[in-house]
Amino acid sequence: MAVQTVVTSEMGKAIAAAYGVEMIETLTGFKYIGEQIRERVDTGRNVFLFGFEESYGYLAGDFVRDKDGVQASQLVAEMAAYYKNRQMSLLDALEQLFLTHGYFREELINLELAEGELSRVEQVMHQLRTTSLLALDGMAIIRTDDYLQQLSTDINGKQTPTGLPRNNTLKYTLQDFSWFCIRPSGTEPKIKIYLSARGDNAASTAIQLATLKAKVLTLLQEGPLFL
């Protein structure tokens, strides 16, 4: 099995699926990846291959239960040597992965408030949660994941459990399978917005991500929020 967080690129899922590897999603934070190792590997249910998160955290091997830069550095060195022997750079290898599995691009936006305005962050999340978003600038939202209520709602209104602990996070998946996720920072007066897009080539994916970013920021600016 491999493990990633709900705000991590979908590229890992695509690669895992191509090799028949189960990809498990967790909430943001490497402690949740460690929990999956304990629950699935220590009990003999699975073999752990790799864990990673959006904020450049990686883990290979179940003998460590937190992000490990030493392992990641070793893997990068091994990859560089492997592809050098094949007259390829790591950038060449990444481009080959894109050609095989699709082009993916992501971006993180931090919307900051003045010091002492953490309560306004909660107000924003409440307003979003009580407003049923069915579309974003004309594009249908096909799934909404509300991790606080622990429910996923599809385009037909059918609800299923997320299977994850309660967390004040909202994730919206659009018709073109791009998505954006909104959650408050746990320590600072800011809201984090994660954006992800997938396309057929680098240029179209960059445009798709820029368009998604503009639409999400417009949504916040036109709503009863703080921008």
pLDDT at residue 227 in the model: 46
Q: 128 vs 24, 73, 181, 223, CA distance in Å?
A: 27, 40, 11, 9
Band of pLDDT at residue 133, cut at 50, 70 and 90: confident
pLDDT of 168 strictly over 90: yes
Q: Is the pTM of this model over 0.85?
A: yes
Contact by Cβ (8 Å): 164, 97? no
Angstrom distance (rounded) from CA 99 to CA 112: 37
Please give the order of strands across the beta sheet that includes 23-26: 23-26, 2-5, 50-53, 57-59
Outline where the chain has alpha helix (H).
Answer: 11-18, 30-36, 69-84, 90-101, 118-129, 202-222
Two structure tokens written together for 44? 């003999």
* pLDDT tens-place string over residues 75-84: 999 999 999 9
Question: What residues are paired with 51 via a beta bridge?
Answer: 3, 59
Identify which of 11, 56, 7 has the alpha carbon closest to the alpha carbon of residue 27.
Answer: 7
- Tell me the C-alpha distance between 191 and 27, whole Å: 16
- CA–CA distance, 113 with 115 (Å, rounded to integer): 6
Mean pLDDT, residues 10-28: 96
Q: Quick one: pLDDT band at residue 223, thresholds 50, 70, 90? A: low
- Domains along the chain with CATH numbers: 2-99 (3.40.120.10), 103-222 (3.30.310.50)
Please tell me which residue, 56 or 90, carries the higher pLDDT value.
90
Provide the 3-class DSSP secondary structure of residue 150: coil
Which residues partner with 181 through β-bridges?
Answer: 171, 194
Q: By three-state DSSP, how is residue 183 classified?
A: strand
